[in-house]
Amino acid sequence: MTELAIHTRGLTRKFGELVAVNRLDLAIPAGTIYGFLGPNGSGKSTCIRMLTGLLLPCAGDMTVLGLAIPEQAETLRRRVGYMTQKFSLYDDLSVRENLEFIAQIYGLNAKDSRDRLRELLGTYELASFAGRFAGTLSGGQKQRLALAAATLHQPDLLFLDEPTSAVDPENRRDFWEKLFDLCEAGTSILVSTHYMDEAERCHGLAILENGIKRADGSPEQLMNGMGVTVLEVAAPGLRELKTRLLALEHVRSVAQLGLRLRVLVDGKLADPVGWLRQRLPELATGAEINRVRPNLEDVFVSCTGGKELP
Ligand SMILES: Nc1ncnc2c1ncn2[C@@H]1O[C@H](COP(=O)(O)OP(=O)(O)OP(=O)(O)O)[C@@H](O)[C@H]1O
């Protein structure tokens, strides 16, 4: 049986009347990168905070690294790392001082601390900034420092809550390379994001909306199993055409991409291109309609419902 890093049954958290996380079941294999994909307010942070033992659930069971949480949260704390979207280190300490401080918290002796710092400054390309105040670093450098800090004690499981919100695409790519290095070295990783390209890099993911898990699986499983066919339509008058398409019963969503419309239609239609040409006479001639491979954004749109992109 696959060893699970995280296992939850019916995990629920309410704030007053609001159900922030609603009966969430998760079975996340150890040694993988697992993503929570969802818009703002979908419950990603609330769930991560419960899994770290920082927030109590209202209902449900969870084990994290085989430990019952919240009961064994104290034992768990030393085995997990946690990086939030907000930079939570000290701006007025240098890079080195920040890491030394964290090494002290984890009780590393002077030699181990020195060795580990040297290793981390090298791995996260921080050696030439070691004496700089953390507050003066760029977004990408701060993010690398935060990851170094979160992994200083070599945790078995790393929680990353929207870790790349504040960095550019190049830094995001580099950051993901570091995550794959960590994963290969045996660290399990749970990362929340609202970026489709990040979600697509995960081994598995759950799509969350209003605290509810709408779908889960590997990106390929989700894309292959979404029950929707994706068409791209190039024709004149796209804004008007979009409105007319949205009024058709088998059309799930329509989004404009430059000079084309990306149209999600029910997967049960045997000949979706023929059907579309027949339903809208203006598409019968002159329009270009192609069936294309679904992407994760299509999955997201189709399983979070609604005919408009979020
Ligand atoms: N301490 C709190 N008190 C009241 N409501 C809260 C609290 N924490 C979260 N919420 C609410 O719970 C819902 C889920 O929030 P959560 O932060 O978990 O979502 P999220 O998916 O992480 O969103 P974001 O990307 O904005 O961080 C939101 O409606 C939020 O306003």
Give 10-36 pLDDT, tens digit per residue: 999 999 999 999 999 999 999 999 999
- Report how far residue 85's alpha carbon sits from residue 49's, in angstroms, rounded to the nearest whole number: 13
Bigger pLDDT: 11 or 284? Answer: 11
The verdict on the CB of residue 46 being under 6 Å from ligand 1 is yes
The CA 206 to ligand 1 mean position distance, Å, reads 17
Pocket test for ligand 1, best of 44, 84, 162 (most atoms within 8 A of CB): 44
The CA 269 to ligand 1 mean position distance, Å, reads 39
Fold of 227-293: Alpha-Beta Plaits (3.30.70)
DSSP calls for 132-151: SBGGGS-HHHHHHHHHHHHH
Would you say residue 310 has pLDDT above 50? no
- Report how far residue 271's alpha carbon sits from residue 248's, in angstroms, rounded to the nearest whole number: 15
The verdict on the CB of residue 45 being under 6 Å from ligand 1 is yes
The domain locations on the chain are 4-223, 227-293
* 81-97: average pLDDT: 90
Would you say residue 308 has pLDDT above 60? no
Model confidence, pTM? 0.90
* CATH code, 4-223: 3.40.50.300
Give 161-212 pLDDT, tens digit per residue: 998 877 888 888 999 999 999 999 999 999 999 888 899 999 999 999 999 9
The CA 35 to ligand 1 mean position distance, Å, reads 17
The CA 58 to ligand 1 mean position distance, Å, reads 15
pLDDT of residue 303: 85
Give 110-131 pLDDT, tens digit per residue: 999 999 999 999 999 999 999 9
